[in-house]
Chains A and B, each alone.
Chain A
Amino acid sequence: MSLLDDFMVRAILAGLGLVIAAAPLGCFVVWRRMAYFGDATAHAAILGVALALAFNVSIFAGVLVVALIMALAVSSLNGRGFAMDTLLGVMAHSSLAFGLVAVSFVHGVRVDLMAYLFGDILAVGRSDLAVIWVGAALVSGLLYWRWSALLTATLNPDLAMASGVSPKREQLILSLALALVVAVAIKVVGTLLIAAMLLIPAAAARPFARTPERMAVIAMVIGGIAIFGGIEGAFAFDTPTGPTIVCVAALLFVLANLVRVLRTYSAR
């Protein structure tokens, strides 16, 4: 019997895979003030689930394609008459609604929507684990490769242009990475909580970081603790796992900011 036969081990490995990709990506989401962007992409994933079931393709592929289309649509519509938050709100909620309606048309399959809204990390199998880790490796490889260019484009588009970095291309790369993470995470924490796993570890890491790189690494550590603590906690208290993970992350966020407040207070 191998280690992977234990569902708890699989769950923790799946969570850690997600965190490795989501934590550094989440830093960009925080720096670029794209919190809503992650939300919108995640909501669109439900439409992807519906289409995947209707056309009988893998959920992963369906979610990936729809999340990607969503990300590209928002990027290209940005700055054409609507404020970004309005645009994202319209697209997020309408794609969620269309997704729910589309799911009701799928006959013959009993769809457990709850599984996609909240995920079920304890049900992760070996093949899911492979998908998650391949996705995580792709996303972190992409971020590692483009790191400096992404940072420059995040700082200022004109500065990027003058240094030979195309801000449009970097935005596209981020959108692609975001779509990949959403597709990977739908099984682990579900669409409603993906944005939380992007944002909260990064936000909790901010008070401890002096450079962007360190913030990404600290976010990974905090995310890892949340995954571990959340899964163990859910087991101990018999609570739903995905939400418990996010609760632990949120507590860590509060703790980090308490430390920051105390530190500035004692520095005076």
Chain B
Amino acid sequence: MSLITLVNVNVRLGGRTVLEDVSLALEPGEIVTIVGPNGSGKSTLLRTIIGAIKPSGGTVLRKKGLKIGYVPQKLHIDPTLPLTVRRFLSLPKRVSNDAAHAALHDAGAGHLCHHQMTDLSGGQFQRVLLARALLSKPDLLILDEATQGLDQPGSADFYTQIESVRRDKGCAVLMVSHELHVVMAASDRVICLNGHVCCHGTPEHVASAPEYRALFGNGTHGALALYRHEHSHDHCDHDHAHQIGAHQIGEHAHEDQSA
């Protein structure tokens, strides 16, 4: 059974129709990415799925007992608030030390337990947010622009982590991103959104769809193959991943020209 099914969902916010006739279903264990230009309703769609927004039409069906782990966009923590990573994981519900360590390990942040949240780098911070989302043992992990502010190797690293989490935990992943090339390569399915579902399917299918090209042009699709390779699980291995990516960008760019 699908984890979440949306049937002809309409959302109006402040008198403006943001989502129109959106239908989609999420299956257990798959990675789905939503892409779309600014203002296309990506975040609204996520918030509708979480339940923070009530649709004005259509239905949202959730599997019974569905647990959702949510990784927000970059979270600002005021420097006046002292907060260790360990304490952060226990908000709002207290978790055991074992559970906290396991979640940090799964998110690739095992060594950060006693750091202050405000001392973390962008990539470390997102890993801690991921660890927090994993604590509830979710069936579905939702990431809203989770790599905003990370450089390309950093975000590629992060998505590698997401893939390994999916493999180990078997949870489905739904994410929104601007970084088409990196994200789409890590996905099983891509949904291209612009108020309505423009097109959807495998990354390759979407990238070559005329609707997608009308929105994003041809420029980005060359980088599609980025990171679609057997990667090691060493998280420090930025350079390796980056080089292969750059190499493949080159190849595709070449193909584009010849086509």
Contact = CB atoms under 8 A, between A and B. Distances in A.
Contacts of B93: 148, 163
Interface in A62-87: none
Interface in A228-254: none
B116 to A, nearest CB: 7
B13 to A, nearest CB: 15
Contacts, number: 62
Given A152-B92, A161-B50, A165-B92, A206 B82 contact: yes
Given A151-B91, A156-B72, A162 B50 contact: yes
Contacts of A154: 81
Contacts of B82: 206, 209-212, 214-215
A31 interface: yes
Contact of B92 (A163, A209, A211): A163
Interface in B219-248: none
Contact of B80 (A31, A156, A210, A211): A31
B12 interface: no
B52 interface: yes
Nearest to B78: A31
A209 B80 CA distance: 10
Interface string A120-164: 000000000000000000000000000011011011101111111
A159 B83 contact: no
Contact of A148 (B77, B80, B91, B116): B91
Interface residues of A, number: 27
A149 B92 CA distance: 6
Contacts of A32: 78
Contacts of A54: none
B87 A211 contact: yes
B70 interface: yes
Interface in B34-92: 50, 52, 68, 70, 72, 75-78, 80-84, 87-88, 90-92
B32 to A, nearest CB: 18
B50 A155 contact: no
A206 B79 CA distance: 9
Given A156-B72, A159-B75, A162-B70, A31 B81 contact: yes
Contacts of B91: 148, 151-152, 155, 163
Nearest to A163: B92
A30 B81 CA distance: 8
A148 B87 CA distance: 10
Interface string B9-42: 0000000000000000000000000000000000
A154 B93 CA distance: 15
B60 to A, nearest CB: 16
Nearest to A32: B78
Interface string A154-182: 11101111111100000000000000000
Contacts of A160: 92
A167 to B, nearest CB: 11
A158 B52 contact: yes
